[in-house]
Structure 1
Amino acid sequence: MRVTTNTAVAERRVRSAPAPATGDRKGKRGRPTQWAALGFLTPLAAYLAIFYAYPLVRNIDLSVHDYNARAFVLGNAKFVGFDNYAAIFSSPAFGPAVRNTVVFTFGSIAAQYLIGLVLAVFFRNNFRLSGVLRALFLVPWLLPLIVSGSTWSWMLNSDNGIVNSVLRAFGIGEINWLTSPDWALTSVLVANIWLGIPFNLVILYSGLQNIPGDLYEAAALDGANAWQQFRRVTVPMLRPVSAITLLLGLVYTLKVVDVIWIMTTGGPGNVSTTLAVWSYREAFGTGQPDFSPAAAIGNLLIVIALVFGFLYLHLQRRQERS
């Protein structure tokens, strides 16, 4: 009887006890988590706003106003809408600049990728002094661009450059690498390829290290030779890394100014002038800065980079779905 009574009293106490405030506890626990997430996001949001959003908005503002040096200081630039864009599209320099940009950009990234891939495959099999050689290949990447451009400018100098000295030693006539309309773009292209090879080597070599060796062993057991292993195993497995390497190379090469400016200043004439060099020349290279057309050309480069970026994302999502 006592057991039954005690049990009934305990049941009534349990029933009459207030339900735990689960919602309040979850809310109290969730708020610190939300504040912590906001705390981690705030530095990133501030960085993007200061170094990306504001410069982009400012560049758009420059391109739709008539900013010269005086208006830039006084802040009374006249609103002209899309007149600056119409001016650059109708300029005689636009066609050569686009053509040079296409040749310089795609020539650079194609050569850099192919040479970097060959070197990455070469260094994949560790051998004596491989680490030292890889470190030496990184030297162009570590040098300041002004040093690299000046070095190439000296090497290709028509009078006392080392390249023409070697050509003369073999009985070949000297070439005006930096002042000839036939060779100026080729000269800056070769210099830029040399600068970009280490980046491609590092990224592609890292990608090769993530390919399981079992795949190569299975391919060898199936009778695949070295070329077939490269074509059937290396290339497909390296495709994601190759895509991001080419995209980064494209974005970087589109905005190359320093090397070309140091070596040829975009000349002779407009032979080696790309869109990036044209933008820099309009803003700083004439002695009479005209910031609005320079900003319009810069926005055109941004649009081109965005198009290829969205194309990369589209292809990546399509590959993930398949």
Structure 2
Amino acid sequence: MLARLRDPSDRLLAALLLAPAFALLALIVVYPIGKLIFNSFFDLRLQGGGNAPFVGLENYALVLQDKDFWNATWNTVLITLVTVPGALIMGLGLALLANLPFKRRWPVRLALLLPWALPLAFAGLIFAWFFHTEYGFVNDLLSGLQPEPTMWLLRPNWAIAAICLTIIWKSSSFMALILLAGLQMIPNSLYEAAEVDGASQWQQFREITLPMLMPSIVVALIFRTITALQTFDIPYTMTRGGPGNATETLAMLIHKNSIEYGDIGYSSTLAVFMFLLSMAITAIYLKRIASQA
């Protein structure tokens, strides 16, 4: 055994070199997920003392019967379905703008970084002021078009719309940065050849840009979808889940049950459902990538 370690084969050497990475991955990913699943089988509460009783699948049955869970899940899915395509479209437009042959590109590219670098909670507070009923910037802008100010954050549908607009503004810059990197990997020779063949700008975009950019689009969609499913900061700072629980997301429901109610077992079960939802969406994207390979 000692001789094999002194002169390892390629397979053994690869295993030895990857062992620290696997150990770190197990420590920061596998163990927390395992602990989360383990806690979901217990009636674990912060207020309780002694050993937490084992309840098996009771927490899972309670979650499936919980109207708040289905409401939060629907809100999360709705925000994801609206903001992910919206951020992709806006991010693609920003990336195409930043990729234009300006003499000085850095101000445009710096502008892409500013929304992405802004803290989520800070962005939520800014847009909560924008959409305020009495002194908000949006109602001031629309004052000539409507007799009474719109109660953006006090009506369920308007509140969801305001949250989605805020998330799209905040996340489109992240999408734009990924897509800009993909645009810069497309050879200019392809566009030069297309121009020689008489292709229009739209034909070049449809036949060259989009197909060549598709891997970057899929990667951007994976990251944006996962973060959309975990949406917490912006809705929390803008509406606190209100009015009522009309804008409460799954992450906010987990926060409420764990921090406010101290029900760790039930919160862990909710987190397991969020994890499964994220993995299901990621699997769909990965299948899409495999079909393109």
The one-letter code of the counterpart of 1:66 is D
Q: 1:254 aligns with which of 226, 229, 247?
A: 229
The one-letter code of the counterpart of 2:273 is L
The one-letter code of the counterpart of 1:280 is H
Structure-2 residue corresponding to 1:9: none
Residue 201 (1) aligns with residue 176 (2): yes
Structure-2 residue corresponding to 1:3: none
Could you tell me whether the CA contact under 8 Å between 2:84 and 2:224 is conserved in 1?
yes
Residue 292 (1) aligns with residue 265 (2): yes
Percent identity between the aligned chains? 33
Residue 29 (1) aligns with residue 7 (2): yes
The one-letter code of the counterpart of 1:211 is I
Structure-1 residue corresponding to 2:32: 55
Structure-2 residue corresponding to 1:314: 287
Q: Residues 43 and 173 from structure 1, CA distance in 2 versus in 1: closer, same or farther, beyond 3 angstroms?
A: farther
Highest Rg: 1 or 2?
A: 1
SS in 2 for 1:153: helix
Compute the displacement of 1:31 (Å): 7.0
Q: How far apart in 2 are the matches of 1:68 and 1:121?
A: 51
Gaps in structure 2 of 5+ consecutive residues: none
Instruction: Count residues with an aligned counterpart.
Output: 292
RMSD: 2.3
The one-letter code of the counterpart of 2:46 is A
| Within-5 A mapping of 1:49-88 | 49-71=26-48, 74=49, 76-88=51-63
Q: How far apart in 1 are the matches of 2:94 and 2:159?
A: 27
Compute the displacement of 1:28 (Å): 4.2
Q: Residues 43 and 226 from structure 1, CA distance in 2 versus in 1: closer, same or farther, beyond 3 angstroms?
A: same
Could you tell me whether the CA contact under 8 Å between 2:91 and 2:176 is conserved in 1?
yes
Q: Residues 85 and 214 from structure 1, CA distance in 2 versus in 1: closer, same or farther, beyond 3 angstroms?
A: same
Could you tell me whether the CA contact under 8 Å between 2:131 and 2:152 is conserved in 1?
yes
Structure-2 residue corresponding to 1:186: 161
Compute the displacement of 1:318 (Å): 2.7
Q: Residues 26 and 268 from structure 1, CA distance in 2 versus in 1: closer, same or farther, beyond 3 angstroms?
A: closer
Residue 221 (1) aligns with residue 221 (2): no
Q: How far apart in 2 are the matches of 1:316 and 1:76?
A: 46
SS in 2 for 1:253: helix
**TM-score normalized by the length of structure 1:** 0.84
CA deviations on 1:81-105 (whole Å, 9 max, x unpaired) are 1111111111122332222112101
Residue 114 (1) aligns with residue 89 (2): yes
Q: How far apart in 1 are the matches of 2:14 and 2:182?
A: 35
Compute the displacement of 1:126 (Å): 2.0
**TM-score normalized by the length of structure 2:** 0.91
CA deviations on 1:145-167 (whole Å, 9 max, x unpaired) are 22111111122222222222222
The one-letter code of the counterpart of 2:136 is G
Q: How far apart in 2 are the matches of 1:128 and 1:179?
A: 46
Could you tell me whether the CA contact under 8 Å between 1:181 and 1:268 is conserved in 2?
yes
Q: How far apart in 1 are the matches of 2:189 and 2:226?
A: 35
Gaps in structure 1 of 5+ consecutive residues: 1-23
Q: Residues 75 and 198 from structure 1, CA distance in 2 versus in 1: closer, same or farther, beyond 3 angstroms?
A: farther
